[in-house]
Copies of this chain bind each other. A is one copy, B any other.
């Protein structure tokens, strides 16, 4: 079966955005990443809601989106609103063929048989080199923050989906970007989608 939508979950520094963009280009379809969250938040008026609840000096919805240490159980919490808005945006975007990187799209689209769910990971060396290349030495020096990105993604995923992030059985395809290389990953994803 042809896969119309490709979701890519990935470890920080594994080149998920680059690979996702190349796959979208190869297949001639749209590409979405966490800008989706921003758009979704704007659409749903989340920023306004958040300011209303937490005051004018609240952090931006963007930073807030990754702040999952302090989870608010209130049903009307901005986190829940954000997730709902994000879900709506993903479902909407996925009405046309596209690649979606991150934002839990694999879980949101779990019942779509025509969605190919990919998980990308890499060894520490590759991820560190990638982070220096993309964000500079300073980012890498703050080792805790780099590791924290994956921990946050993992906690975030678990919280919203109840599933283990990075467990092979939750995906159609899990690829080691270090041993396979970017070009091969793109080739395998494109081939799996056809």
Give A contacts to B, CB under 8 Å. 113, 116, 119, 121, 166-169, 171-176, 179-180, 184, 187-188, 191-192
Verify A169–B166 contact, CB threshold 8 A: yes
Bound: A169/B179 CA distance, A: 11
Task: Name the one of B166, B168, B187, B188 contacting A121, with C-beta atoms under 8 angstroms.
Answer: B168
User: In the complex, what distance in Å separates the CA atom of A171 from the CA atom of B166?
Assistant: 12
Secondary structure class of chain A's binding surface, majority of residues: mixed
Counting every copy of the chain, the complex holds 2
Report the bound CA distance from A15 to B146 in whole Å: 38
Within the complex, what minimum Cβ distance (angstroms) separates A75 from chain B?
Answer: 33
Which of B113, B173, B176 is within 8 Å of A176, CB to CB?
A: B173
Q: Which residue of B lies closest to A119 (CB)?
A: B168
The answer to whether A176 and B167 touch (CB under 8 A), given A188-B188, A188-B192, A191-B188, is: no
